Chains A and B, each alone.
Chain A
Amino acid sequence: MKKNVLAVTLMLTLGVTAACGGDSGGSPDAQTTTGPIKIWLSNNPEEIAWGEAMVKAWNAENPNEEVTAQEIPAGQTSEEVIGAAITAGNAPCLVFNTSPAAVPQFQKQGGLVALDSFEGGADYVESRSGDSAQQYQSPDGQYYQIPWKSNPVMIFYNKDIMKEAGVDPENPPLATYDEFLATSQKVVDSGAAEAAIWPAPTSEFFQSWFDFYPLFAAESGGQQLVEDGKATFDSEAGESVANFWATLYAEGLSQKEAYNGDSFADKKAAMSVVGPWAVAVYGDAVNWGVAPVPTSSGMSPEEIYTFSDAKNIGLFSACENQGTAFEVLKFATSEEQDGELLEMTGQMPLRADLQSTYADYFDKNPEYETFADQGSRTVEVPNVPNSIAIWQAFRDEYSASVIFGKGSVSEALAAAAAEATELAGQS
């Protein structure tokens, strides 16, 4: 019962606070004002270590503009906590864990400051991230987030399980859907693992980022879920991907029930859809290999796109010293700090010249090289109104038809596409 009380109370509290009104702290002067600021970091230990080191370096050079860092306060998701803070008017200056999917909502709430409004802001974003920056532009043409780091998702596989299933562990056939399904069948038939691959079959809006979306990005040659205000997935590529996953579920190669834990770490599944964070997490505990996500007819790896799983930095309107916040944002995304981030977390800074800039790092850590290469071909979630509602609508139809086999896949995609297009067209 605590959760429902929490949900209702949070919503009502947000309403109460919103009705109370108050000072936004977002006056035009704030953009040039300097002074102490607060920032929020993600709550994973590696990022906290990087964040604390970055803050220490900044504070040493800027004693009058002290930065105080803390983890994002506990909540169901970071987005809920940030959304509540925006409404209450106590959001920090910078959040180093801003989900691109939530940016349209934060923007609508009046919680974000466009980086274009700072001198050289847009140029800084575009020069650092290159062409991929465009995916993070809002419909009004401005940047309300700086693309910070990505976790391009790929297929991790357990070599020991592959070997036990009679599959070549060094080069398992996973490039085409047919190969992937045949390999999966061998894994399950041999009893080497309970499932070939076990993405969470649950209904949260973000789960499609780790099953359908990476494969759709690959199959469609880099399309976003919604482009030019229209859903793109009601297409040959979308249907092909959805049918592929539907086959995995129908044949029992993927489980319809959520695994309570990490199915890949527990060796219940032979494969997993992961980002470069997995290198450090699985380390020596799993004898792993990595492959690009499959496509229907097989593509060469250098043509394959995937989902970026990026986390960005937002500058919030409640910040009183936005001048300092913008400088800290640039400092934290400088070549030096991006290098530190890569070194300490294994996550890929969203820089156009990633591999050449940190060539030494990739020479020393070849296991990250594959991810770095994939990082140059990523697709972000669309930056459109009602982004989360669109993902939820998609997930609901996907769950029914693909995971639980109710109704036809093509009808489900058509229904989800109609709803997504309608939602994207609303303000």
Chain B
Amino acid sequence: MKAEAETASTDKPSSSRSRRTAILGRQPLGLVFAAPYAVFLAAVFAYPLGLAVWISFQDYFFAAPGAQVDRPFVGLENYKTVLGDPAVRRSFLNVIQFLLINVPLTVVLSLVLASALNGAIRGRAALRVAYYIPYVTASVALVAVWLFLFSSGGMVNQLLGPLAPDPSWLVNSALAMPVIAIFVTWKQLGFFILLYLAALQNVPKELYEAAAVDGARRFRSFTNITVPGVRPATVLVVILATITGANLFTEPYLLTNGGGPDGASSSPVLVMYQKGIEQGNPDTASAIGVILVIGVLLISLVNRKLLERD
């Protein structure tokens, strides 16, 4: 009896401890450290995202505090409106075109340049900085440089002479979006090179030595050792490039003056800005935002499935 009582008395605190452990984890102090970021995520991302989803199902507009306004639930009406709007549909097609150019170009160029910068080449440090500078420079300043290069009377057309496109790059429906895609690729390249450089440090040098002994040339080593060796980084680069590309705004706003010519370079975020902020229709703007978020999530999931496979 005595032994049973002792067992029961020791079981009680042990089971309550295990309950506490199940809820708070083995190191409850960790929650304290994680809490600030969790609160930040909830307040700055989760709540606004949830609110945007809610707004997309209402006939919603921003109103003064205390103003008596009617903002009824409208179901999928906002989604029907935006999907029926040719300008919105076009903006999504534009951004798909952008991603098809930007993402592969980003992956290929950043991996090739990172491999080159990882080798023993003269002026390596200076080149690494040079590639990183556009990434840390304000877009507005870079756009001014590209306007100088690609406007009708710009340096590129002067060099091309009679071969210059007509209409010029930034007012040409077929060329405006590709120019923006190349601009963004160039601007972001430094960051992605940095990711690949970090990944390259984890590829064992012995593999290259073994390949060299087996007679593999540089290109063969690159395709058979480097590319598979940095696959996790490639997944990250593809997903990040897709997310940042889908949020395209500054470049069509500044470089092609609001998505011109005639909407050929408009993007969903630019249309969101026009509808939500300029025209006071946050309901339809939120619907565009929700569609964009779902689209980006789907693309990212597909990318992950394709690239992470063994």
- Bound form: Cα–Cα A202–B67 in Å: 36
Chain B, residues 46-79, CB within 8 Å of chain A (1/0): the string is 0110011001000001111111110000000000
Partner of B250, one of A3, A8, A83, A403: A3
* Segment from B96-104, B219-227, B266-274 that makes contact with A: B266-274
Max chain A C-beta neighbours (<10 A), residue from B55, B65, B254, B262: B65
Contact A1-B139, Cβ < 8 Å, known A15-B62, A318-B64, A406-B262: yes
Q: How far is the CA of A406 from the CA of B264 in the complex (A)?
A: 12
> Is there an interface contact between B151 and A87, defined as CB atoms closer than 8 Å?
no
Residues of A within 8 A of B285 (CB): 11
**Residues from chain A with Cβ under 8 Å of B52 in the complex:** 11-12, 15
Annotate B165-182 by CB proximity to A: 1 below 8 A, 0 otherwise.
Answer: 001101101000000000
Interface-side segment among B16-24, B241-249, B295-303: B241-249
Contact check, B247 vs A4: say whether CB atoms are below 8 A apart: yes
Cβ of B279 < 8 Å from any Cβ of A? Answer: yes
Q: Are B277 and A7 closer than 8 Å at their CB atoms?
A: yes
Question: How distant is the Cα of A10 from the Cα of B171 in the complex, in angstroms?
Answer: 30
List, in ascending order, chain B residues with CB within 8 A of A257's CB.
151-152, 167-168, 170-171
Q: Are A14 and B282 in contact (CB under 8 A)?
A: yes
Say whether A359 faces chain B, with CB atoms less than 8 Å apart. no
Our pick among B62, B167, B289 for the contact of A87 (Cβ within 8 Å) is B62
A 7-36 binary contact with B (CB < 8 Å = 1; else 0): 110111111111111111110000000000
Enumerate A255-285 residues with CB–CB distance to B below 8 Å: 255-258, 260
Min Cβ gap A23→B in Å is 6
With both chains docked as a complex, state the minimum distance between the C-beta of B247 and any C-beta of chain A, in angstroms.
Answer: 5
Contacts A19-B51, A388-B280, A392-B278: A1 and B64 contacting too (C-beta < 8 A)? no
Q: Is B171 a contact partner of A203 (Cβ separation < 8 A)? A: no
Question: A343 contacts the other chain (Cβ, under 8 Å)?
Answer: no
Known contacts being A396-B87, A404-B262, is A110 close to B152, with CB within 8 Å?
A: no
Interface residues in A155-197 by Cβ distance below 8 A to B read 194
Given A8-B269, A11-B276, A15-B55; A256-B167 close (CB under 8 Å):
yes
User: Does A317 sit within 8 A of B, measured CB to CB?
Assistant: yes
Q: Any chain A CB within 8 A of the CB of B115?
A: no
Judge whether B258 is part of the interface by a CB distance below 8 angstroms.
yes
- A8-B269, A12-B51 are known contacts. Are A22 and B289 too (CB-CB below 8 A)? no
Known A8-B272, A396-B263, A400-B262: A15·B65 in contact at CB below 8 Å: no
Q: Complex: how many Å from CA A392 to CA B87?
A: 11
A83–B286 Cα distance when bound, in Å, is 17
B118 close to chain A: CB less than 8 A: no
Q: Does B260 contact A (CB under 8 A)?
A: yes
A46 and B133 CA atoms in complex are apart in Å by 39
Flag whether A375 is at the interface (Cβ < 8 A). no
Tell me the chain B residues, 154-202 only, with Cβ under 8 Å from chain A: 167-168, 170-171, 173
CB <8 Å contact, A3 and B51: no
B253 sits at the interface (CB 8 A): yes
B51 contacts which chain A residues (CB < 8 A)? 12, 15-16, 19
- A53 on interface, CB distance cutoff 8 Å: no
Contact in complex: B62, A83 (CB < 8 Å):
yes
Q: What would be 8 A-B contacts, judged by CB atoms less than 8 Å apart?
A: A3-B139, A4-B249, A11-B285, A12-B52, A20-B65, A26-B64, A109-B63, A257-B168
Starting from the known contacts A26-B66, A110-B63, A257-B168, 6 additional A-B residue pairs (CB-CB under 8 Å) come to A7-B249, A11-B52, A14-B282, A200-B257, A396-B263, A404-B261
User: Which residues of B pack against A, CB within 8 Å?
Assistant: 47-48, 51-52, 55, 61-69, 87, 138-139, 144, 147, 151-153, 167-168, 170-171, 173, 244, 247-250, 253-254, 257-263, 269, 272-282, 285-286, 289
